[in-house]
Amino acid sequence: MKRLAERMSRLGTETAFDVLVKAKALESKMEVVHLEIGEPDFDTPKHICEAAKQAIDQGWTHYGPSAGLPELRSAIAEYAGNLRGVKFNPDQVTVTPGGKPIMAFAIMALVEKGDEVIYPNPGFPIYESMIAFMGGKPVPIRLREEKEFRLDTEELASLVNKRTKLIIVNSPQNPTGGVLTKEDLRLIAGAALKHDAWVLADEIYSETLYEGKFESISQFPEIHPNLVILDGFTKTYAMTGWRVGYGIMPPRMAKLLAQIQTNVNSCTATFTQRACLDALSGPRDETNHMVAEFKRRRDIIVDGLNSIPGFRCKKPAGAFYVFPNIEETGIDCEVLADRLLEQGGVACLSGTCFGEFGKGFIRFSYANSVENIKKALEKIEKVLA
Ligand SMILES: Cc1ncc(COP(=O)(O)O)c(C=O)c1O
């Protein structure tokens, strides 16, 4: 049999999906609380579902333009621009099945052999996977607990050089919930421009924020020619399974990403795009309720974890994850994550699922009910007792 392409050995994965399968399999033997997967436990707001049903009935079941439906690109440009206090044009928008393809497509479009890409570590595992897959050199920047998991801008400046093609930033961040300040973003933009590097700003949690106002690197106009923003509908509207996301970038880049999409998956489903128009223009009460509820759960899980001996947990300002330091338990984080699942029935992820600098930490998603979070806290305490 002929060998697989060499690049396949460099492809990583997102362990959350593997743990989900393992945890589901355990359910026949024991009760399992799912704190592993990053997905709101709320249903998609009714008016969005109704809009999708209506779109199917109206015949929105055919191929659409690769860049996305023009009316949705316009609505996104306006909505995303208002959220960030910036003016975007529809020709800057490419709509994709979820936000994830923007990550892959931007890296495909920019990174070639030998290019360095700086990415947050601990961070979303797909960054490192796609950088390496495309032949680039992943250059991790460590996010430190003592800095509330914001990247150190001085360290960033020391890592950027003429080989740096791309800098990936993610705020609010997965897995730490860390949020970058306006000043951090200004310095990051400056560091990138010094060496003409691109920035991929993963802003998928732009509306899952509990403190202050959302700050985007796009508020610095000088970075616009080198900027790709990633955002989408999955987290804000509890639409993980619908698969609609988008990128906002210079028009030439938006066109290239749409061309990659033509090659890979033609377009994003058209009836889901029609429903997203309603997501943007419809009532906000359900999304507001979701964020208020996440905040309540965050406080419960942070207080609960901090009362468990060996756990030390920061209170994150955004996203729906906590990333406690568990070094003082004396147990390796991978061993502890397995033990919490297999002995306690609490599905969670070892910090190392998010890179080498996640060692000593565990990630819990608190996109689950207060009842289940309390149950999980009791189970964790029992396993450690
Ligand atoms: C940081 C980050 N970026 C992007 C994504 C991908 O989102 P989507 O489901 O819209 O593809 C996720 C999903 O968990 C995420 O945590």
Question: In whole angstroms, what is the distance from residue 270 CA to residue 250 CA?
Answer: 24
pLDDT of residue 1: 86
pLDDT of residue 180: 98
Distance 353 CA to ligand 1 centre (A): 15
Give the lowest-confidence range in 10-14, 128-132, 265-269: 10-14
62-79 per-position pLDDT tens digit: 999 999 999 999 999 999
Report residue 37's pLDDT band, with 50, 70 and 90 as the boundaries.
confident
43: closest CA among 324, 286, 272?
286
Question: In whole angstroms, what is the distance from residue 162 CA to residue 50 CA?
Answer: 51
Give the residue-averaged pLDDT of 111-121.
97
Give the residue-averaged pLDDT of 230-234.
97
CATH annotation of 6-43+285-384: 3.90.1150.10
pLDDT of residue 20: 87
Q: E strand or H helix at 346, and its extent? A: strand 346-347
Nearest residue CA, atom 16 of ligand 1? 174
Query: 153: which 2 tokens?
Result: 């801008």
Pairing of strands 362-365, 321-322: antiparallel
Whether residue 385 is predicted with pLDDT greater than 90 in this model: the reply is no
Return the percent helix, strand and coil in the chain, to nearest 5: 45, 15, 40
Nearest residue CA, atom 14 of ligand 1? 38
Cβ–Cβ under 8 Å, residues 316 and 322: yes
Report residue 10's pLDDT band, with 50, 70 and 90 as the boundaries.
very high
Give the residue-averaged pLDDT of 205-230.
97
Question: In whole angstroms, what is the distance from residue 249 CA to residue 231 CA?
Answer: 11
Mean pLDDT, the chain, integer: 96
pLDDT of residue 18: 84
Mutate to test the pocket of ligand 1, among 234, 240, 265, 365 (most ligand atoms within 8 A of CB): 234
132-185 per-position pLDDT tens digit: 999 999 999 999 999 999 999 999 999 999 999 999 999 999 999 999 999 999
Report residue 39's pLDDT band, with 50, 70 and 90 as the boundaries.
confident
Query: 244: which 2 tokens?
Result: 């609609």
If you search the block for the tokens 């994965």, which residue do you land on? 13
Cβ–Cβ under 8 Å, residues 319 and 202: no
pLDDT of residue 110: 98
Distance 100 CA to ligand 1 centre (A): 6
Enumerate the CATH 3.40.640.10 domain ranges in the chain, comma separated.
61-281
Q: What percent of the chain has pLDDT over 90?
A: 95
104: closest CA among 230, 249, 4, 276?
230
> Is domain 61-281 annotated with CATH 3.40.50.150?
no
Q: E strand or H helix at 73, and its extent? A: helix 70-84
Distance 382 CA to ligand 1 centre (A): 32
Mutate to test the pocket of ligand 1, among 14, 39, 44, 100 (most ligand atoms within 8 A of CB): 100
> Cβ < 6 Å from ligand 1: which residues?
38, 98-100, 124, 170, 174, 202, 204, 232, 234, 240, 245
Burial class (CB in 10 A: 0-12, 13-18, 19+), 354: buried
Mutate to test the pocket of ligand 1, among 36, 102, 204 (most ligand atoms within 8 A of CB): 204
pLDDT of residue 38: 81
If you search the block for the tokens 């743990």, which residue do you land on? 19
What is the separation, in whole angstroms, between the first and last Cα of the chain?
52
Question: In whole angstroms, what is the distance from residue 218 CA to residue 372 CA?
Answer: 38
pLDDT of residue 40: 85
312-348 per-position pLDDT tens digit: 999 999 999 999 999 999 999 999 999 999 999 999 9
Distance 204 CA to ligand 1 centre (A): 6
Enumerate the CATH 3.90.1150.10 domain ranges in the chain, comma separated.
6-43+285-384
Whether residue 117 is predicted with pLDDT greater than 90 in this model: the reply is yes
Give the lowest-confidence range in 12-16, 159-163, 225-229, 293-297: 12-16
Q: Which residues are CB-contacts of 273 (< 8 A; sequence separation ≥ 6)?
A: 60, 64, 68, 69, 72, 95, 244
Question: In whole angstroms, what is the distance from residue 192 CA to residue 226 CA?
Answer: 9
Question: In whole angstroms, what is the distance from residue 112 CA to residue 101 CA?
Answer: 18
Q: Which atom of ligand 1 is nearest to the CA of 16?
A: 14
